[in-house]
């Protein structure tokens, strides 16, 4: 195998890794295994596969789980999972039919009644809703900390809750959406360790959707679990909903165990679409990062723009935020938020005047998108918190695509000019 001779970069392996053409009539690409079940060679083989799948016996050396039934395993999903591990250098991966199903499966697997989950704030709306509105039905408690609170303050917060011995999971999202505020992954791991005991480890899960698998590697900074909405950069073409969870073999075994019984694994077709997307993940994200820097440079000097929220604007004067950026973020990403001068009226004028950039939520796709967080993605956020997070009426969020950067800038410019008229 060529992979053995030299440690290649993931982008070099995305077209071939984990796929054996000889098992598929020599097809260069992995076919869609559109099948619900798999034929066993013998009853003995069926018995052996099941006893391994259900953990009734130890895995033999070098043995892989045989194909049984597409809720348990399917080649499109297995190859996709193998390839996804390369970017994050994770031991294992589980893919899901949506980002939300990956997130909720992790929350349900690692929390039980009476437990405490510590979250960063703000979180993605769907995660926030599940943790605030649905987990309490199972008597799971929630505590939140905010960007800028240091390790000692957060430890104090947990101690003051009276539930420190119940802390089971820390769940964070960095950079925060839509303000690009950064949270230190390393210090959250130290907090998890601080409250861990031999009987009850505290795990750290990081939703890495906003920077994706190319621009930030949470496991390197201590995360136990990394979560993705694969709908965003990984899928990258606004044509599929999917999710992924990565981590150690031990933890992903638990995640896959619950996935088998919730039945929220990705379909073969979704797996195939994502395999195709992964081949261009690096070049798409390189193009997006390049474009985002150009667009931010333009917005930073435009007279109709009051403030730009972009990782590239975090400079040494920002102290701690700059230190975190240097450590965690490999580029400035592809997400830019900005405040127009004025309020909702001006922001809407801008959005309605866009021609190339599409007015839609979601992010990380080939086409550039624009939306209004205060009334769209973050409509659900408490008014007081919105103010605190600077999610005001004048804010617009952009997800930069792969178009020619001057065309994107031209569109933004004409839409900003239209505000005055």
Ligand X SMILES: *Cc1c(COP(=O)(O)O)cnc(C)c1O
For ligand X, the binding residues (CB under 6 A) are 98-100, 124, 126-127, 173, 177, 207, 209-210, 229, 231-232, 241, 243
Tell me how far, at minimum, the Cβ of 362 lies from ligand X, in Å: 7
Strand-pair partners of 369: 358, 399
Q: Minimal distance in Å, beta carbon 34 to ligand X?
A: 22
d(CA 166, CA 158) in angstroms, rounded, equals 10
Of the pair 10, 212, the CB lying nearest ligand X is at: 212
- Strand intervals (E) in 106-256: 116-121, 141-146, 167-173, 203-207, 225-229, 243-247
Q: Positive or negative CA dihedral for 80, 81, 84, 86?
A: negative
For ligand X, give the closer residue by CB, 195 or 210.
210
- Closest to ligand X by CB, 378 vs 386, is 378
Give the helix/strand (H/E) hosting 306: strand 305-309
Smallest distance from ligand X to CB 396, Å: 17
- Of 267, 265, 262, whose CA–CA distance to 108 is shortest? 262
Q: What is the pairing mode between strands 116-121 and 167-173? A: parallel
Least Å from the CB of residue 201 to ligand X = 24
Query: Measured from the CB atom, is 126 or 201 closer to ligand X?
Result: 126
| Distance of closest approach, residue 96 Cβ to ligand X, in angstroms | 8
3-state SS class at 108: helix
Q: Max alpha carbon distance in the chain (Å)?
A: 77
Residues with Cβ within 8 Å of residue 102, at least 6 apart in sequence: 94, 95, 96, 227, 228, 229, 243, 244, 245
DSSP string of 359-379? E-S--SSSS-EEE-TTTTTTT
Cβ-closest position to ligand X: 99
Smaller CB separation from ligand X, 92 or 173: 173
Q: How far is the CB of 87 from ligand X (least distance, A)?
A: 17
Closest to ligand X by CB, 105 vs 141, is 105
Q: Shortest approach of ligand X to residue 97 CB, angstroms? A: 9
User: Cβ closer to ligand X: 99 or 312?
Assistant: 99
């Amino acid at each position: 195998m060529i992979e053995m001779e030299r440690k290649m970069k993931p982008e070099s392996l995305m077209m071939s890794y984990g796929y054996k053409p000889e098992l598929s009539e020599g097809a260069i690409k992995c076919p869609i295994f559109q099948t619900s079940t798999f034929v066993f060679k013998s009853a003995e083989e069926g018995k052996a596969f099941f006893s391994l799948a259900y953990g009734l016996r130890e895995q033999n050396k070098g043995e892989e789980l045989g194909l049984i039934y597409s809720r348990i395993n399917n080649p499109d999903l297995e190859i996709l999972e193998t390839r996804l591990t390369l970017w994050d250098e994770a031991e294992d991966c589980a893919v899901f039919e949506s980002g939300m199903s990956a997130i909720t499966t992790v929350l349900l697997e690692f929390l039980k009644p009476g437990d405490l989950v510590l979250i960063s704030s703000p979180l993605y709306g769907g995660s926030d809703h599940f943790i605030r509105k649905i987990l309490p039905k199972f008597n799971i408690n929630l505590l939140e900390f905010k960007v800028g609170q240091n390790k000692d303050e957060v430890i104090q917060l947990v101690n003051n809750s009276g539930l420190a011995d119940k802390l089971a999971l820390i769940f964070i999202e960095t950079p925060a959406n839509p303000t690009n505020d950064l949270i230190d992954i390393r210090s959250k791991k130290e907090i998890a360790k601080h409250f861990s005991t031999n009987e009850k480890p505290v795990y750290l899960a990081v939703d890495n959707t906003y920077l994706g698998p190319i621009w930030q590697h949470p496991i390197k900074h201590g995360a136990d679990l990394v979560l993705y909405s694969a709908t965003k950069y990984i899928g990258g073409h606004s044509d599929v909903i999917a999710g992924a969870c990565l981590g150690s073999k031990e933890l992903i075994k638990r995640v896959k165990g619950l996935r088998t019984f919730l039945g929220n694994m990705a379909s073969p077709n979704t797996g195939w679409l994502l395999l195709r997307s992964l081949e261009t993940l690096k070049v798409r994200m390189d193009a997006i990062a390049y474009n985002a820097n150009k667009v931010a440079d333009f917005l930073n000097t435009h007279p109709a723009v009051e403030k730009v929220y972009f990782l590239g604007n975090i400079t040494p004067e920002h102290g701690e935020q700059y230190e975190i950026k240097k450590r965690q973020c490999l580029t400035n990403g592809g997400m830019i938020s900005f405040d127009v001068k004025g309020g909702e009226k001006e922001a809407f004028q801008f959005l309605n005047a866009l021609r190339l950039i599409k007015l839609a939520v979601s992010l990380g796709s080939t086409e550039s998108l624009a939306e209004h967080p205060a009334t769209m993605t973050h409509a659900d956020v408490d008014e007081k918190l919105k103010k605190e997070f600077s999610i005001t009426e004048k804010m617009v969020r952009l997800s930069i695509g792969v178009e020619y950067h001057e065309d994107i800038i031209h569109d933004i410019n004409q839409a900003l000019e239209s505000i005055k008229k």
